[in-house]
A and B are shown apart, each in its own frame.
Chain A
């Protein structure tokens, strides 16, 4: 299948007063056309910064992309001129953000915020662009879109605002939609709705989606493939089923063990991963997960493991590569 996005050895640093933050460290992955890829990791794991780097939207200074390439439809985004990059943003690849409360401009009507990108990229007249915007709002399920488009963001609920964000992201029929934790700031009851809308629109339009989240369970019915990030690195990537049932990285296993499942009776506390992610200023030697890892051996503390294939489209960066299937089985039968 054709690679739509191919990121190779991406490195992003933040040069702050407290030192250099190693936010993204040699990240390589790809996204095929029409594929949905989930990026999972806890806060500060570099998942958002990776995609913001690809969009060239990291605040600079202090942020800087110091290496790698981001091939999108055969062109390296990092080498494009500012003008060329702008013509792709919001057009061929677009991004929607975590908090719809703060990501929409409070003093502009939804109409203006939607039509400005449509007019810019599709060269439509104002009335045409408005008609398209109304249509998009209807597609994301905003009732009375024709009237609501005249409203300001504060006149919408959180869920409705995220729908507006999605409609904005889809305005120019992008080939790739990057969704940066679009459900995190919303009520749990809304999560499924937002996921459904994106899934449905993805099917209709045949675009690729990168869904960034810290919630592994959210990706269950959504992603084709999942990347797990830790301390600015990809530690495991695998197709959905393989990752859920045969994880090989201790961190992925830990994440799966910490998911609350409705189909099991649980007497014990939910298992959590002890410790905190490493400081990205004083980047640790060896595997960044080693200090928290129950499987760590001596080598883990001195050498950083490379991503190695362990199955079809399945790669893991670990010296030990424990069999996750057995561990998950054991912990499940222990709680049952």
Chain B
């Protein structure tokens, strides 16, 4: 168990390292650089001055040198400062990370509650109008892009009904973005839950449970549910990654002040240290979540052992 855990941690570190290389290469492939973008509007800056600033930032050096210097600093806990505004990147990210996590976790809860409930009932009522309605809803949910759903929710609940603020970052504002993100993912979770439950409901041990004289609710909750959840929990890791990624879009639609919104701004400004810092934090969160889910998976299915 401990050995498995250490192996997973090392694997996770390796993943994060590869991510840093990939992102460094990618951001330098994008045309334009931060200094040019920053001074594009100002006529007074001469090309010599721009060169000078680039040199100060180390942008004139080859990519691999920039990468090694960057990683050297990161390993000492220094994520650098933003090119525009000169703020420490790590502080900027860590202030906003809880907002993104709050949004992602709330969405995940909505996903699980809505998706699992819908899938469970669709499976139990297989072939009835309940099943058909729920699964049609799921297809619609999968097909609708989250930014559109977000805009619709804003126009109905904020603009028409005035129940929630249009945008901002406090608990009151959490509802709409979390719904947007949660419902979209609930659709795919409900489909997985349904097929997984259908499989479980036809298993021999369900007949055994009924042969004992257990009430149907107990048969479903004790014998079916946990078995049906094995596949769903397995998918959760992937879902959470989607949540984090989806958060980037949704944060921008709702002006939710998370790291996703910061990332988009930095990408437009080619703010290399911020983008790199963002990816590093993002990758770390994904790796941690996937390790935690592995443990959860083993807990829910006793047949899984990590040796």
Residues of A participating in the B interface, judged by any CB pair closer than 8 Å: 55, 57, 59, 86-91, 94-95, 97, 99, 102-108, 112, 116-117, 120-121, 152, 154, 165, 168
Is there contact, CB below 8 Å, between B204 and A86? no
Is there contact, CB below 8 Å, between A106 and B302? yes
Q: Chain B, 212-235, contact with A by CB distance < 8 Å: what is the 0/1 string?
A: 111100100011001100100000
How far, in whole Å, are A91 and B147 apart by their CA atoms in the complex? 57
How far, in whole Å, are A6 and B300 apart by their CA atoms in the complex? 44
- Residue among B204, B207, B209, B211 making CB contact with A94, cutoff 8 Å: B211
Given known contacts A87-B213, A152-B303, A168-B208, what 15 new A-B pairs fall within 8 Å (CB)? A55-B211, A57-B211, A90-B212, A94-B211, A94-B212, A97-B204, A97-B207, A97-B208, A99-B204, A102-B205, A103-B205, A103-B208, A105-B223, A107-B226, A117-B212
Is there contact, CB below 8 Å, between A89 and B223? no
B199, CB-defined interface residue at 8 Å: no
- Residue among B204, B211, B218 making CB contact with A89, cutoff 8 Å: B211
Which residues from chain A contact B227 at a C-beta distance below 8 Å?
105-107
B210, CB-defined interface residue at 8 Å: yes
Is there contact, CB below 8 Å, between B205 and A89? no
Distance from A122 Cβ to chain B, minimum over Cβ atoms (Å): 11
Question: Which 7 A-B pairs have CB atoms at the shortest separation, nearest pair first?
Answer: A90-B212, A89-B213, A90-B213, A102-B204, A117-B212, A105-B205, A103-B204
Which residues from chain A contact B302 at a C-beta distance below 8 Å?
106-107, 152, 154
B203, CB-defined interface residue at 8 Å: yes
B301, CB-defined interface residue at 8 Å: yes
Is there contact, CB below 8 Å, between A88 and B213? yes
Is there contact, CB below 8 Å, between B303 and A120? no
Residues of B participating in the A interface, judged by any CB pair closer than 8 Å: 202-205, 207-215, 218, 222-223, 226-227, 230, 300-303
Is there contact, CB below 8 Å, between A90 and B205? no
Distance from A267 Cβ to chain B, minimum over Cβ atoms (Å): 42
How far, in whole Å, are A108 and B224 apart by their CA atoms in the complex? 11
Instruction: Supply 5 A–B pairs (Cβ within 8 Å), ascending by A.
Output: A86-B214, A102-B203, A116-B218, A152-B303, A154-B302
Distance from B224 Cβ to chain A, minimum over Cβ atoms (Å): 9
- Residue among A59, A89, A102 making CB contact with B212, cutoff 8 Å: A89
Distance from B250 Cβ to chain A, minimum over Cβ atoms (Å): 35
Which residues from chain A contact B208 at a C-beta distance below 8 Å?
97, 103-105, 165, 168
How far, in whole Å, are A95 and B209 apart by their CA atoms in the complex? 11
Is there contact, CB below 8 Å, between B212 and A168? yes
Q: Chain B contact residues: over half helix, strand or loop, or mixed?
A: helix
Which residues from chain B contact A152 at a C-beta distance below 8 Å?
302-303
Distance from B298 Cβ to chain A, minimum over Cβ atoms (Å): 11
Q: Chain A contact residues: over half helix, strand or loop, or mixed?
A: mixed
Chain A residue with minimal CB distance to B201? A59
Distance from B16 Cβ to chain A, minimum over Cβ atoms (Å): 33
How far, in whole Å, are A90 and B212 apart by their CA atoms in the complex? 4
How far, in whole Å, are A165 and B207 apart by their CA atoms in the complex? 13
Which residues from chain A contact B205 at a C-beta distance below 8 Å?
102-106
- Residue among B204, B210, B213, B222 making CB contact with A91, cutoff 8 Å: B213
Which residues from chain B contact A108 at a C-beta distance below 8 Å?
222-223, 226
Which residues from chain B contact A95 at a C-beta distance below 8 Å?
211
Is there contact, CB below 8 Å, between A117 and B214? yes
How far, in whole Å, are A105 and B228 apart by their CA atoms in the complex? 12
How far, in whole Å, are A102 and B207 apart by their CA atoms in the complex? 10
How far, in whole Å, are A152 and B298 apart by their CA atoms in the complex? 13
- Residue among A97, A103, A107, A168 making CB contact with B301, cutoff 8 Å: A107
How far, in whole Å, are A87 and B205 apart by their CA atoms in the complex? 19
Which residues from chain A contact B212 at a C-beta distance below 8 Å?
89-90, 94, 116-117, 120, 168
How far, in whole Å, are A89 and B216 apart by their CA atoms in the complex? 13
Which residues from chain B contact A116 at a C-beta distance below 8 Å?
212, 214, 218, 222
Distance from A153 Cβ to chain B, minimum over Cβ atoms (Å): 9
Is there contact, CB below 8 Å, between A86 and B222? no
Which residues from chain B contact A99 at a C-beta distance below 8 Å?
204
Chain A residue with minimal CB distance to B227? A107
How far, in whole Å, are A301 and B5 apart by their CA atoms in the complex? 70
Which residues from chain A contact B218 at a C-beta distance below 8 Å?
116
Which residues from chain A contact B202 at a C-beta distance below 8 Å?
59
How far, in whole Å, are A91 and B205 apart by their CA atoms in the complex? 18
Chain A residue with minimal CB distance to B230? A107
How far, in whole Å, are A120 and B218 apart by their CA atoms in the complex? 11
Chain A residue with minimal CB distance to B218? A116
Chain A residue with minimal CB distance to B215? A86
Chain A residue with minimal CB distance to B126? A61
Which residues from chain B contact A120 at a C-beta distance below 8 Å?
212-214
Which residues from chain B contact A105 at a C-beta distance below 8 Å?
205, 208-209, 223, 227
Which residues from chain B contact A168 at a C-beta distance below 8 Å?
208, 212
How far, in whole Å, are A112 and B215 apart by their CA atoms in the complex? 15
How far, in whole Å, are A211 and B295 apart by their CA atoms in the complex? 43
Distance from A83 Cβ to chain B, minimum over Cβ atoms (Å): 8
How far, in whole Å, are A103 and B205 apart by their CA atoms in the complex? 4
How far, in whole Å, are A86 and B212 apart by their CA atoms in the complex? 8
Is there contact, CB below 8 Å, between A57 and B204? no
How far, in whole Å, are A112 and B222 apart by their CA atoms in the complex? 10
Distance from A51 Cβ to chain B, minimum over Cβ atoms (Å): 11
How far, in whole Å, are A88 and B213 apart by their CA atoms in the complex? 7
Chain B residue with minimal CB distance to A85? B213
Chain A residue with minimal CB distance to B207? A57
Distance from A136 Cβ to chain B, minimum over Cβ atoms (Å): 14
Distance from A261 Cβ to chain B, minimum over Cβ atoms (Å): 33
How far, in whole Å, are A152 and B215 apart by their CA atoms in the complex? 23
Distance from A172 Cβ to chain B, minimum over Cβ atoms (Å): 9
